[in-house]
Amino acid sequence: MSELAVAAFAAEAGSHVPDTPRTSRFDAFLRRFDERAYRARLAGLGLRFVGRSDGGFPPLLRAIHDPPPGLFLRGPAAVELLSRAAVAIVGARACSPYGAEVARLLGRELAAAGLVVVSGLARGVDGAAHRGALDAGGSTVAVLGCGIDRDYPAAHAGLAREIGEHGLVVSEYAPGVEPAPWRFPARNRLIAGLARVTVVVEARERSGALITADLALEEGREVMACPGEITSALSAGTNALLRLGATPLARVEDVLEAFGLEPAVSAPPEIGTRARRVLERLADAPAGIDELARATGLSAAELAGALTELELAGLAAGSDGIYRARHPSLGR
């Protein structure tokens, strides 16, 4: 009795089937299911399947209370990638520029430290985390909430391709399964299940990322949350997590320490005195040019130059007219 048959049956029935169903419909399906032909078709699409009972199946994921019958894989990387120490980075799709930056920074730093970055390929925080891991040349895993052959959202097709080249795209759903709203919470249990630590970067009060965090807590995994402004709706979810006892994430090192890893040290880049003055002011809070002009006494032209210097050094970034200091290791 094959786990692949269960997965294929779930796809045909359009339902969520974590265990072997005891129905006549499944029995009928099993009688006409040709596993060899199905695997050949998968191989033709450049896909693989690893069953729950197979040796390569990640033990952490097998340990959750409702593991999938198996995982479909896209990408050349070995299945063992899924068993390596992994961190999940999740958060709002409509995140702020700050959230996107934190996600990218975390993705980059944690991947550089040797962790596998797991996320859901969604817009916003998910995409930024994947992107960060790719920036660092690290490994990243995207868990889909639709059939393994689909790129959802379509805007991230390019990102999915890159992940497929350097990491793995995985899904419990067979090719041809359409994305549906209820599949995404189910997908989130895989994200939480694959990772030892789940980091929530930005989340509204009712956010899919909080589902992931809940699932991680249920499985006894560590959950970390980035503190945010108490006035921002985008921080309501993460701040609520902190109130409930999640570990505050104030530095990248906090995550590394949870894994018992040492952070890599890098020398700060050299910048001019004018730029330093601006950076000191930006370290307090993000600001627009006019505000900086008043605080530093520099002219609009001088400030523009200083900010470009900081941007080139990777020490500040501007978005929608507001500049903020950024972690130097984020790169451009």
Partner 1 sequence: MLARALTHALVGLEPRRVEVEAHLQLGVPAFAIVGLADRACQEAKERVRSGIASSELDWPQRRITVNLAPAALRKEGSGFDLPIALAVLAASRQLPADALDRHASIGELALDGRIRPVGGVLAVAEGARAAGLARILCAAESTPEAALAGIDPVPVRHLAEVAAYLRGEREPPPYEPPPNGRPAREPPDLADVRGQERARRALELAAAGGHNLLLAGPPGTGKTMLARRLPGILPPLGEAEAIEVTRIHSVAGLLRPESPLVTEPPFRAPHHTASAPAVVGGGPGPRPGEASLAHHGVLLLDELAEFARPALEALRQPLEDGVISVARAGGQAQFPARFQLVGTMNLCPCGARGDPAAECSCSAQRLARFRDKLSRALLDRFDLVVAVPRPRARELAGAPGEPSAAVRPRVAAARARLRREPVRLTREADELLARAVERLPLSGRGRARVARVAQTAAALAGAERANAEHVAEALSYRAPSELVTR
Interacting residues toward partner 1 by CB under 8 A: 93-94, 97, 123-124, 153, 155, 232-233, 288-291, 293, 299-309, 311-312, 318-322, 332
**Residues in contact with 315: Cβ distance below 8 Å, sequence separation at least 6, in sequence order:** 269, 271, 275, 279, 325, 326, 328
3-state secondary structure of 40: helix
How far is 262 from 253, CA to CA, in rounded Å? 8
Least separation in angstroms between CB 173 and partner 1: 23
- Rank residues 178 and 218 by Cβ distance to partner 1 and give the closer one: 178
Instruction: Determine how β-strand 70-74 pairs with β-strand 168-171.
Output: antiparallel
Q: Quick one: 30 or 293, whose CB is closer to partner 1?
A: 293
CB of 311: closest distance to partner 1 in angstroms?
A: 7
Mapped onto helix, strand or coil, the DSSP state of residue 222 is strand
Other beta carbons within 10 angstroms of residue 136's beta carbon come to 19
Rounded to a whole number of angstroms, the minimum distance from the CB of residue 233 to partner 1 is 6
**By the 8 A CB rule, do 213 and 57 touch?**
no
Nearer to partner 1 (CB atom), residue 214 or residue 309: 309
Burial-class residue 105 by CB neighbours within 10 Å (0-12, 13-18, 19+): buried
Q: How far is the CB of 332 from partner 1 (least distance, A)?
A: 5
CB closer to partner 1, 69 vs 124 = 124
Whichever of 124 and 167 has its CB closer to partner 1, that residue is 124
Task: List residues bridging with 90 in a β-sheet.
Answer: 200
Residue 132's nearest CA partner among 151, 150, 109 is: 109
**In the complex, least distance from residue 106 CB atom to partner 1, rounded to whole angstroms:** 20
Nearer to partner 1, 135 or 219 (CB): 135
The identity of residue 45, as a single letter, is L
Q: How far is the CB of 304 from partner 1 (least distance, A)?
A: 4
Is 296 within 8 Å of 303 (Cβ atoms)?
Answer: yes
